[in-house]
Structure 1
Amino acid sequence: MSDISLQLPDPRQYPESSPSNMLIHYTQSIVNARSEDDRAMWRASLRAALVEMLEREELLSLSVALAMVTSQQIYRELWDALRDAAERPDSGRHAVIFAVPLVLVIGSKGKATLPERIADVDTLNALFRQHGLFADGAEVFLSGKLLHPDNVVGIHSAQIYRYTRQLVDAARGLPLELPAAPIVAKDEGVFLRYLLGVAIREDGAEAPVKLGGNVGAWGVPVMKFIGEQLKTEGVTLFPIPRPPMPLMQAIVAANFARLEVALQVFASTQIRQLRDLGQEPVAIMSAHDNGELHITVSATGNEKDWGGFVWPLAAQDDVAQIETNFRLLMAECQVGDVRVVDGVQPESRDGIPLFFTADDWPPQPVTLQ
């Protein structure tokens, strides 16, 4: 069976070249290597350079290199190498710094403040150990404090490099003043918080924490437990825990997960409202020159009852994946009219953010491949 071709352009711009940057030179050499031996040689050179910068806390040099990459492929290769240098020592006993992202879908008729932490942290840790996410006998501790994304993003790679190699026990966590961040809810919203953990991996031992992968059998009991711990009068709460991940990976993956859930909530609400009016929804996606994707759900002939959603593209977001996931979501919602605006559009028109509705952009023929 043929698939509908993807049409949404990537609006992000990259420099044409950055030949003077050593890190980018090494990374491009990895991508362009003609043999696995050459690739391994360049990866070793890149890792050595990154380790030296992390030891010296040369954060500006790292930020400049990531900002000057010439493609998303180069960015991902450099980012993965930075993660590897920061989070994986060559050998010996070391700490594993990880996070459990929580996407929280909240509904509230009035203003309400949820708890800032999971109070029963012992049961939280016991659940993760019971379901095999923490290895038997391993030294692991997951904090119950709910951390705001801004505070987690503020933990830089040089700190992760240092703590991975210097922390000697898990129970004390990271030696950072990270304030708990309660969620203040009103109406409907999708929020992101992190639970931060530390594990100690003994030299030659199995991994103390199962990192990454999909949500398994543990998902439902952990979801129910978190829901009970954060229960607040007048609030409807649907917590979605993600698997434990190395901290730098968690920052990237969790932001994508939050936006994906927020898009699902937006689309389902807007589709329901239009169908309650007896109108058939039309979904439109457009890419904009400020690095955003704009998505609307509207109906032909109805200029009033439409809704818009903004997806600000992060460096590692995959536009094709976002479009594919949205088309699948629309198929599940039985929305057959999904349109994509040609080319990269301006951010705004006459000072107003630019969104296209069903009357602005005509139906398009289906392209098969």
Structure 2
Amino acid sequence: MRSDDLYITTVPCFFRCPISLDLMKSPVSLCTGVTYDRVSIQRWLDGGNNTCPATMQILHNKDVVPNLTLHRLIDLWSDSNNRRTGSESPGSNNPTRNEISAVINRVRIENDDCEVLPKILRFARDSDENREYLAGKDGFVRMLVNLVSQLDSTNFSDSKFMVVGEAVKILSMLRVNRRQLSNLILSNGRDCLTAIFLLIKSGNKNLKTDCAAVLEFIAVDTESKLLIAERDGLVNEIIKSISSDSDSSLIEASLSFLIAIASLKRVKLALAGEKLVTKLTRLLLSDPTSSVSVTEKCLKLLEALSSCKEGRTEICGGNGTCVETVVKKLMKVSTAATEHAVTVLWSVCFLFKEKKAQDVVIRTNGVTKILLLLQSNCSLTVRQRLTDLLRVFKVNSRSYLSVYDTKTTHIMPF
């Protein structure tokens, strides 16, 4: 037997169901984190068992969650084997525009979305030109939105979940008119936000990232931002994604979405109530080498929250950890991060004269950093805010700089 034949016929062990030992067709995970084929585990649960067959742990609940990542990996592996055995025609993995036009018509006429959406997704991933073609194809975006709207708690199956996930992935890649897409999604009678919420709750990181990107894209005005922010549980699920153990792409997409809706006072109040400040502080503290973009977005959100009383209460609360963290980020990351950090301090210390925040800035050598920043090539707005802060602390710049800790190495060129 040739090595190629062995490769083709040997199914990777993690693609096999632990019960049937066959290649999984519809992988689902229990609360224990173990994945099984749906048919096998459902038969086990229907038999009155309340344990995980592989670990024998007692199940706190018998919910099964589609493992979309594993499902896609199995599909890719199967496609690869099909190509190696010649069961697919050459070039079938790279559909042409004519083929895509035909499969789109199949979805419209025959409602055959399970088979053709993966092909459309491969086409979209291939190039910017392909994505532009799809975005400009008459009725295509509306078709995707209609597919998304079909998912709700009463119509929840593996196949439907998969289709809606693929549709959202394609939508996240297209750059269409933002307002038109916003109107399509938010005015849809079957509530696309419910479908997006269910996708986010699935726990799949890639799906969460795609959903956050779509939500940010359609948050174009006051009405759309409120509709999204006030969808029960949606913002809370996004906030859960902001943790040091989350995927970096998911963190960035979540932060970008929250920034998009945080311009409204009602939203700021809700975000403060969800303890977003604590999450942002932990993220800023968790990894000193975290990406510049993540740090900038965290500070930008803190800047937005510092403009409302509830946000300032959270920022100045506890032992002043948040304010201390903001002071540490001064001059360390980027020009944009410094500007956001200065605005946070200006808001809590000067504009609203929060005594707790002022004490933390003094205690953490923040005044010295403000003096040094004032000598840097900062913008006129930042310079004015630094001057305002110095008025609050009423210090003599020369005497204060003379006791500056020269062992500190945080001064970076911009």
TM-score, structure 2 length as denominator?
Answer: 0.22
Higher Rg of the two aligned structures: 2
Q: Which has the higher strand share?
A: 1
TM-score, structure 1 length as denominator?
Answer: 0.24
